[in-house]
Chains A and B, each alone.
Chain A
Amino acid sequence: MKNEDQILRQRAIKVAGIPKETTSKEETLRVVEFMLIPEKYCIDSSYVTEVLPLKEITTIPGTPQFVMGVMNARGKIISIVNLKSFLNLKESGITELNKIIVVKHGKMEFGIVADAINGTHELPLSGLSPPPVTIHGIGAEYIKGVTTEGLILLEISAILSSESIIVNQK
């Protein structure tokens, strides 16, 4: 038992590293980066609860275009939103959209569909520039900024608390 502990400790010391310097005291945001081909997007990771593969989707007739349908996440039903059409982004061809990022804020929770998940990282906020003129329409208010590499930071909390994402056809 003690032996095991020792081994583990040694191993821990071995693999432990000093966390990467995040360009000194700069303010950063931990984000989840994903692909909506051809663009790269990221969102504040604190709103992300999980990432799931999209295996089966049930379309719900009568819902707006941006609602792709619902899926079963371990017995719970989660609605799936296509940000491309919610944000009025230009559709370019067809893509596989087979990953789901589940986002949650307060009571609101849904999945957003993505072509691929690129992982999480710290995003320095100072390097952001305002959304380019090319991204306009309804979507612009949900875009916090764009990095020099063209990575688009979405204001996921605004999307989550947006009235227009709610479907209530009373």
Chain B
Amino acid sequence: MDRKQEAFLLELISDFKIEGAEHHKVIINGLLKLEKYPPEEMMKPLIETVFREVHSLKGAARAVNQTDIERLCQTIEGVFHLAKQGKLTFTTPMFDILYKAVDILGVMLLEVEQKEKRIGANILLQLMKRIEAMQRVEETPPEVEEVVSSGSSDVVQNPTPEPVPEQIPSPPLSDQATNNAEVNEITDSPVSGDTVRISTSKLGILLREAEEFISVKASLGFYIREIQKIHNPELVPLVKDMDRFHRSMSRMVDDLLLDIKTTLLYPFSSLLGIVPKIVRDLGKSHNKEVNLSISGSEIEIDRRILEEIKDPLIHLIRNSIDHGIERPENRKQAGKSPAGILDITVRQVSGREVELHIHDDGAGVDKEKVIQSAIKTGVITSDIASKMTDTEVFSMIFRSGVSTSPFITDISGRGLGMAIVAEKVSKLGGSIELISSPDKGTTFIITLPVTLSTFRGILVKVSNQLFIIPTTAVERAVRVNLQQIKSVESKYIITQNNESFALVRLGDVLGIAQVKIKKEDGGLKPVLILTIAQKRIAFMVDEVIGEHEGMVKNLGPQLIHVRNIAGATVLGDGRVIPILNIQELMESATHISYTINPGESGIEQENPDTNHKRILVAEDSITLRSLLRNIIESSGYQVKTAVDGMEAFQFLKNESFDLVVSDVEMPRMNGFDLTARIRSDKTLEETPVILVTALDSADDRQRGMESGANAYIIKGSFEQSNLIETIHRLL
């Protein structure tokens, strides 16, 4: 147990060393730039940067009990705090002291794990005294500052009398740093330990490559399952071995991926660094005083999540300042201090989850306003509203169109922002909740995964096409009896557990042809209830196939954004499946309206003539196969396809078809042979056959007729109506 704790501490310390080195570098570079006395508009952000870096280093040092570093940072921070307020002007001797201090910081950072320290308490104390003395500089007459102008002197006369202790051991940087003429940018980290700098783009490539293994893993699993279907006793031991190998490989892939993901972790500080300025600017423009506090910024998370969470965070901060924190006069009336509190806290909940709290001590969310806004936008009825709990009321904030603000300002009040925040968070695999009490304030709690997980989705079939719906968007999957579907004006409604949902057919939303269902299906159709930003719509599909885990890929540079489609993923067998974009899908779904004939309750309209007719299409070209399928299906027939004559004949033996459409030139068995086989088979001989071919000679035509085909269509003069007419004629 002790050893474990010790190891944990060591790990923390080594993390601190790396982080410290980063801050140290930025501080030095900041000092270097500052010493060139840039114009004021550049000076300010530089001072801000150095201040923030010193502050972060202080926080990090405190977290690992490095009190000396913490204290030194504290004093340096003090100097920059004054400089920020414009109460202190830097002079060359001051830079000298600051460089010394930063050098010493560098040495201390190098020595964090060592028991024997080169920097004694005495040196530190003297140094800190001198830095503190700098902060009293405002009280000294300004002339004194100008007296000291021979900057390169190592011995500083002013503003403090103590000389720089000569016994300070200098790290290699020291000599250069004090002589600014030789120093431009310091790019090397003073920590020479066992770390290597790698650009994040290289890490990104490593991650992508490791992620590719997921599909390898999935493919292997797929082939093993396929082989298992072959019942051959000789295969049994082999399959067992393969299965074992697959399992150990899966474990290795998972481990590799996890390890690479940990290298992509990045502290929240990189994101939260921008917050103070935003808060200050917003406070100013709203005439509100805001005291900001940030904690836990050293906690790490996948940098891709950090990038994605930036906008939602800014939105919530704006929301707190705009809607939450009251004006100073109103605060005084409510018995609060004039300055509002905005507290941003990052907390590590577990190894896999992080919480981001954004708390303000403002007026809180007005429940009544939320309810009224929700009723106005039609999200709820006043009947339902009276029965809602606080949590339920507050959760409506995340719905599109609900807002508490009577004014639409440039930053909030449209009621859209929160819906977008909620969506973004859920896209990252996280969740958001709101706690609020009148006059006490509001807290948003965002729970985020530490690393971006691979994508999980539900595989569904619509019109013979497969799609994937992100699992996070699926509230539940149910089977609905067509008789239970009600129609209200131009919408269909289903009721599940006393809740009503608008029902649409996924195929209609995507604009693809629907395959009509047969009565024999028992009238039960699979329906997925999808939810996003508290909005719920039921989507009817033809079939729910199962769950799939994989990587999200984009559709390539040509298809930048296709409506309703978020990207694609690759199945174990190599098939590409489009991933649906739930937000857009929900929007598209609200525009669907059905023409409902009076007296009709079911959603499906059936065509009694063609519904039961089944047509087999044999064609080796994928393009032609799907073209023929689409043409024939859109006329209301059911279609099954075969890749060649041999497969077609097998299908014909096992299932019943009303007509065959076949290509002539196919591998294994061509169209002529297929026709001949059909004609010579007792059970099949009556089946009409249409041959579709590129061959256009009298001989071929003759051969086609001889083999027993009922019709012969030339590809070169093919027309859609032609084929359908021929099918109609033969059936």
Binding site for B on A (CB under 8 A): 37-38, 54-63, 67-68, 70-72, 75-79, 81, 92-98, 107-110, 113, 165-170
Contact = CB atoms under 8 A, between A and B. Distances in A.
B512 interface: yes
B565 A94 contact: no
A107 B560 CA distance: 12
B62 to A, nearest CB: 46
Contact of B212 (A72, A75, A110): A75
A29 B468 CA distance: 45
8 contacts: A58-B577, A70-B555, A72-B574, A78-B556, A79-B555, A79-B558, A96-B694, A97-B623
B575 interface: yes
B160 interface: no
B210 to A, nearest CB: 13
Chain B contact surface mostly: mixed
A38 B718 CA distance: 13
Interface residues of B, number: 40
Contacts of B627: 94
A71 to B, nearest CB: 7
B215 A75 contact: yes
Given A72-B570, A96-B624, A165 B575 contact: no
B622 interface: yes
Contacts of B692: 94
A136 B519 CA distance: 51
Across the A-B interface, give the 7 residue pairs with the lowest CB-CB distance, nearest first. A96-B621, A93-B718, A168-B560, A61-B510, A58-B576, A97-B623, A93-B716
A48 B568 CA distance: 24
B365 to A, nearest CB: 32
Given A75-B570, A166-B558, 19 more contacts: A56-B574, A56-B576, A61-B510, A61-B565, A62-B565, A63-B562, A71-B576, A72-B570, A72-B574, A72-B575, A79-B558, A81-B558, A94-B692, A95-B715, A96-B624, A109-B556, A110-B557, A113-B623, A165-B558
A165 B716 CA distance: 27
B340 to A, nearest CB: 38
Contacts of A56: 574-576, 622
| Secondary structure class of chain A's binding surface, majority of residues | loop
B717 interface: yes
A113 B553 CA distance: 22
B576 A107 contact: no
A58 B576 CA distance: 6
Contact of A62 (B553, B564, B715): B564
Given A75-B570, A79-B558, A93 B212 contact: no
A93 B717 contact: yes
B217 to A, nearest CB: 13
Interface in B593-630: 621-624, 626-627
Interface of B: 212, 215, 465, 510-512, 553-565, 568, 570, 574-578, 621-624, 626-627, 692, 694, 714-719
A123 B299 CA distance: 63
Contact of A77 (B512, B556, B717, B718): B556
Contacts of B717: 92-93
B639 to A, nearest CB: 15
Given A72-B570, A94-B715, A167 B623 contact: no
Contacts of A98: 621-623
Contact of A61 (B512, B694, B716, B719): B512
Most buried by B among A60, A94, A169: A94
Residue of A58, A67, A110, A166 with most chain B CB atoms under a 10 A cut-off:
A58
Contacts of B564: 61-62
A38 B714 CA distance: 14
Contacts of A108: 557-558
A76 B558 CA distance: 13
A54 B718 contact: no
Nearest to A58: B576
B622 A60 contact: no
Contacts of A167: 558-562
A113 B623 CA distance: 10
A127 B578 CA distance: 45
A61 to B, nearest CB: 4
Nearest to A55: B622
B469 to A, nearest CB: 14
A167 B561 CA distance: 6
B555 A169 contact: no
A168 B626 contact: no
B510 A62 contact: yes
Nearest to B556: A79
B715 A60 contact: no
Nearest to B563: A169
B623 A57 contact: yes
Nearest to A110: B558
